[in-house]
Structure 1
Amino acid sequence: MNDRLIITGLGAVSPLGLSARDQTIVANGWIFDDIDAAARVKVQEYRHTVLSIPETFSIKDYVTPVALRRKQRFSQIAMAAAVDAFADSGLADRPANLERVGLVASTEYGPQRAVGKYLDGLIGGGLFEASPGLFTQTVYNVANGQASLALGLKGANSTIVGGSSVAYAALLIATRKADAIFALSVDETNEIMTSYFDAADFGPGDLAFTFRTGEAAAVVVLESQSSALARGATELAELLGWSSASAPGLGVSYADWAEDDTTIAHAMLGALRDADLAISNIDLVVGTANGLGVLSRSEFSAIRGLGYTGPVLYPRLMTGECFGGNEALAYILGLNHAAPGSTMLITVSTANGGVTSTVVRKAAS
């Protein structure tokens, strides 16, 4: 990578708060001295709970009313996170060429609330009760399109289902197809998912930690160093290397994950190789375990296999399993917790078996 790839902005709305600055956790239960301490946690009973974005959330705090026409909640939380990141990146005061600033969104379940509302009208009353305006809010790429319009971003624009917006953003910048990309991660709670986990019958052996579901929209602004220097942006961190892999034969649920699967280990090793670093150079691991036993124990094995013996953070234990909203939120929580100059190995999995690991170094000051 000739031109360093840096992080210049963060934005988020999640159960933890309504901006990236709010994404801190003071409670215990997500930070472990080492992987063995994490593995010693015992859960006796499964009780599903849902963690939601605070009820005080109002999209009018982020954009003007004229930008809200027909916008459903999925788009609203994505727009809010993007606006937060836009301000944090300094693009309002130190603008870049917006023709070369884009947005890549990753989601796993998309705007399911809007889909449900639309189908209620269609099935209940036929075509005459189906809302054309609501129909436009049922497509998966609605969030990134509307967030880009709200900010005037005119560069690359894509939606990934069950993949990594951070890895794709890094690729776009590394191949000079963009100067900066808003890597957006988003999913909201919905009735189908909540009902599924309410009815699940997980026993103690199926759990490594307490399992909860959540929702989030979060953004990491990735930018080439040359672009950031040209506009005087503040460097928050540097992306040193990354690697993606996919678990073979996985279905559409984390419960399908094979405990002996090596995909997480493969992604972690690939990121370290790409960064040309050894595991001894890592100060902090930000993991992907969400409480379900097979996924968590697969990651335990991967971390032990690397020979890493330092602290491990598990953001999903505090935010809940946010599905498509996990990725950028893991970066924000890791950076908010890490000491200046720390080097982190961040891993994010998706329900369909995708795993992306990155090596990120937080700026020294």
Structure 2
Amino acid sequence: MMPRRVAITGLGMVSPFGGSTQDFFQRMLAGESAVTHYETDDKPHGLSLPAVRCTQFEPTDRIPRPVLGTMDRFAQLGMVAALEAWDHAGLARSADNPAAGVAWGTALGGTLVFEKSYRDLWLNGQERLPPTAVIKGMNNAASAHIGIALGLGNSCLTYTVACASAAVAIGEAFHRIRHGDADIMLAGGSDAPLAYGVVRAWEAMRVLAPGDVETAYRACRPFHAERRGLVLAEGAAALVLEDWDHAMARGAAILAEMVGYGASCDHTHLVRPEEQGQVRALRQALDQAGLAPEAIGYVNAHGTATREGDPTEIRALKTVFGAQAEHLAVSATKSMHGHAMGATGAIEALITVLALQQDAIPPTAHLDIIDPLCAGVRHITHAQRGTGLSAALCSAFAFGGSNAVLAFKAFNPV
């Protein structure tokens, strides 16, 4: 059969600002940072670092209390984002929908429940754990809860691919619809990485950006000459992917079209990014989309603000786009919403879809001095509106050398 077209018909997220998805995107366009200073009183040494937290998140508004008690925070975040996306798509809830499935990404799964269990056993003298600890902690908890809540009877799969998890989940969901294996896929990701042990592990790698109460908001500065590292964030986002004809037949509002997905492995190093692996993923996405490099008007870059990662990504873009690279609009929105690990690819895919729908490109915040090693593309430092944006890429390049690139086009009913 001919590959089917894939529409994006719904978006949902848990915003660190506490408002709606549209409010979140407007804040991205304004260059507003969600990064604040985070402190804990953990023993023997509390945490003190810039971070992004969803402090206004209240899951009891959307999740029944009996179900809530069986979920770790990452699954709660994911459920709320997924329900919002489903409702936004105008889809009814069903007891059994065999043509609809879920594809979810998480890098860490239920880390918080495991950490609490260790504390209870080793520090608090507790001898037993609740039986719900197992189902709270499993990585596929979010996808399972989403599938149950919405009666999704097609595939229910979870992808754990470090910070490419959600991008891979969206890409694989795209393939299921494109190849006729499903009509609708609810795809996205969620993570809650601010567990004490997780933060300490990242600190040991010396890739977290420093900052205090006054400076935390600008701690993450991708492509900046003085960048110091990434900022951890919790969060969740979801997209509804739908067979084009199915969406048109039910009169759905199509937000954008997903047209390509590239995936590759650097196969060189666990943590050091490699240009050629990224090039392969970028070219795969373009080839599958049937798009020439000059057709791309925007790239939502992986851009984590690490010393090695940012220049590598720019070199890959310059290799793929050639002479066109200097005109290519590029921004790294992690400068505002932080790095939500396995959820990041979904958050940035959501931003890319809204950029196409509203013809508005968000900036890389705080980018007043571009590192010469990151030069050669058109860095967006203030929102760009009305440029006629028609196609865009969203990149996720993970530890382990796992790369995923998603390609989208603006809605065209033809």
User: Shared topology, TM-score over 0.5?
Assistant: yes
CA offsets 1:62-94 (integer angstroms, 9 cap, x no match): 23334323322121101100111011111039x
Q: Distance in 1 between matches of 2:112 and 2:19?
A: 21
Q: Structure 1 unaligned runs (5+)?
A: 31-46
CA contact (8 A) 1:12 1:18 kept: no
Calculate percent identity across the aligned residue pairs. Answer: 24
Q: Cα deviation per residue 1:113-172 (whole Å; 9 max; x = unaligned)?
A: 011122333445788422212222111111111122122222210111104101110121
C-alpha displacement of 1:179:
0.8
**Cα gap change, 1:124 to 1:210, in 2 (>3 Å):** closer
* 1:166 and 2:167 are equivalent in the alignment: no
For residues 203 and 96 of structure 1, do their structure 2 counterparts lie closer, same or farther at Cα, with a shift above 3 Å needed?
Answer: closer
* Aligned residues of 2:266 and 2:402 also touching (Cα < 8 A): yes
Counterpart-to-counterpart distance in 2, 1:298 and 1:361: 26
Matched, 1:194 2:206: no
Which is worse superposed, 104-113 or 331-340? Answer: 331-340
Q: Structure 1 pair 312/324, CA: closer, same or farther in 2 (3 Å)?
A: same
- In structure 2, give the amino acid aligned to 1:316: K
Deviates more, 1:203-212 or 1:344-353: 203-212
Secondary structure, aligned partner of 2:405: strand
Match for residue 350 of structure 2 among 329, 332, 348 = 332
Unaligned runs of 5+ residues in structure 2 are 34-47, 210-223, 360-387
Residues 236-258 of structure 1 deviation map (CA, whole Å, 9 limit, x = unaligned): 1111122101121432xxxx224
Note if contact 2:202-2:208 (Cα within 8 Å) is conserved in structure 1. no
**8 Å contact kept, 2:208–2:229:** no
Aligned pairs for 1:1-365 within 5 A: 2-24=3-25, 25-28=28-31, 48-53=49-54, 55-92=55-92, 98-123=97-122, 128-162=127-161, 163=165, 164-189=168-193, 190-201=195-206, 208=227, 211-251=230-270, 256-258=271-273, 260-305=274-319, 306-307=321-322, 308=325, 309-338=327-356, 339=359, 342-363=390-411
CA distance 1:105–1:197, change in 2 (3 Å)? same
Q: Which residue of 2 aligns with 1:41?
A: none
Question: What is the aligned length?
Answer: 342
What SS is found at the alignment partner of 1:99?
coil
Structure 1 residues 241 and 200: alpha-carbon distance in aligned structure 2, compared to 1, 3 A threshold:
closer
1:183 aligned partner, one-letter code: A
| CA offset digits 1:310-362 (Å, max 9, x no partner) | 21121212111111011111111122234175210111122332111122012
Offset at residue 298 of structure 1 (A): 0.9
Q: Structure 1 pair 29/352, CA: closer, same or farther in 2 (3 Å)?
A: farther
**TM-score of the aligned structures, taking structure 2 as reference length:** 0.75
After superposition, the Cα gap between the structure-2 partners of 1:210 and 1:337, relative to the gap in structure 1 and judged at 3 Å, is: farther
Matched residues in 2 for 1:58 and 1:276: separation? 42
